[in-house]
Structure 1
Amino acid sequence: MDGRDGMRAADADREVVADRLRVALGEGRLDLHEYDERVQRAYAARTYAELDGLLTDLPPVAPVERSALSPLTPAAPPSVGDQPAPVARGVTARWLADVWFPYLRVIAIVVTIWAVTSLLSQDLLYFWPGWVAGPWGAVLVVRTVSGLAAKEPQRQAIKRQRRRERKKAKRATNPNETPPTP
């Protein structure tokens, strides 16, 4: 290795590569598992060659003349028409589960309470769980549509990944700290 490839990379260079990988995740070029692996390798990289190797199969984010300072300089992701970047199915499914499961649990509980009280009274009582399910469900439908349109599942996945990275970095800086026992 000669020239730039053999030179030691700085923390700022690692951050630039991690940001580019985040963009690739948002564009749907990487899945969460591959993104996680590459980010770990980016933060462990020592040289520019190791960092460049993490981006070789990804398209450049800027024309060559705009990135003359460094091939690692971030830029805005290329736009392909007005189509949004594809979202990994697992990310969207997890986000939908986070949004809808509390609602489904509560509705199951209130419908069960209504059914038990109807059985005990031996009469079909007024279906009051509709007053819980209807408005809350309408709010969740609006939240789901607006969240999918605003790419909320991707943002949530990136936030989750950042939290994991911070925890790993914190563990790396405090190796003598013992984890709590269950």
Structure 2
Amino acid sequence: MIIKNKSKRKIILSFLNLTAQQDINTISTNDIIDNANISRGTFYNHFKNKIDIIRYIEKSISTSLDEKFAEVNSEYNNFFYVLTEKVCPLIYHDREFIKILYNFYEPQLFSFLQEHYAKFLIPYFAHYDEKKYGVPKYFAMSFFFRVILDAVLSWISQPIPASPEEFKNIFYKLINTSMTEMCGIVIRQ
């Protein structure tokens, strides 16, 4: 996330620093102002409150992600390439800001991301056969999207996440291997 305005960057980085030390809900505007070593006027020239900071972070990251996902071609056959080669490095770079969004919006963030990005998975289910798998298509699509999103969020929420290149290898292994195979168990109905 690139923040060109120095005062705004100072406020956001102060907020980021505070979130590493305490729960988001306990951080006050005064805490941010004091930590950033700025005047009240400077803070209020840029933001109304901490929710406004969070919304700014959300909008900035969402815009960056949308720009990368715009590179997915109309046949969607390069979705995983764009995800692992273009989006994951961006997520890695902005990981601390994404952690703020995840911690603050956890239930809503999942829904937002699913509504916003699940469209890229629809083509992969064009030939899905509900009779063959015995699972409704909408459920299989939702499950698959959540597996992808959980993998990304699990990666980025680590204290020291693997590099995007390392994560790409982990991600492909996870996606291409069944859970029962990984665990060495057989689950029978």
TM-score tier, shorter chain, comes to under 0.3
In our comparison, the structure showing a higher alpha carbon Rg is 1
Query: If the length of structure 2 is used for normalisation, what is the TM-score?
Result: 0.27
More helix by share: 2
* TM-score normalised by structure 1 residue count: 0.27
Higher relative contact order (CA 8 A, sep 6+): 1
